[in-house]
Amino acid sequence: MNSKIQCPFCGLAPERIQAENEVAVWIYDGFPISPGHSLIVPKKHVRSFFEITESEQLALMSLLSIARTSIDRSHKPDGYNIGINDGAAAGQTVPHLHLHLIPRFSGDRADPRGGVRWIIPEKADYWTGI
């Protein structure tokens, strides 16, 4: 990583942290796409989900569950998208692993079928031709 570029997830302000465990923190996304859009971010600087141990992966998932429970109470979404952009080709813009927990609400998209498949729109709608 270029030392002149500060990682936005290393050294987070304490007031941004909603909850934490030994491995990660839960914060609200700085540029949310829906109410409650959250990030689960490892405390150590690592780029990829595949660079952390299985126990670290489990700790991230545990915090994801805590975030979901809180968002359920405060925003009452109808569903969620959970995603990781792992690598530049996958759209990762911050080179520090983070999981997106995106609350979804009925009617926020005319036809939400396919969910994360819409990252490649021409391949998202597989059901029309069935």
Map out the domains of the chain with their CATH numbers: 14-124 (3.30.428.10)
pLDDT tens string 29-64 = 999 999 999 999 999 999 999 999 999 999 999 999
pLDDT digits (tens, 9 = 90+) for 62-83: 999 999 999 999 999 999 999 9
Residues with catalytic function:
98
pLDDT averaged over the chain? 93
> Can you give the pTM of this predicted structure?
0.90
Distance CA 64, CA 99 (A): 8
14: Cβ contacts below 8 Å, ≥ 6 apart: none
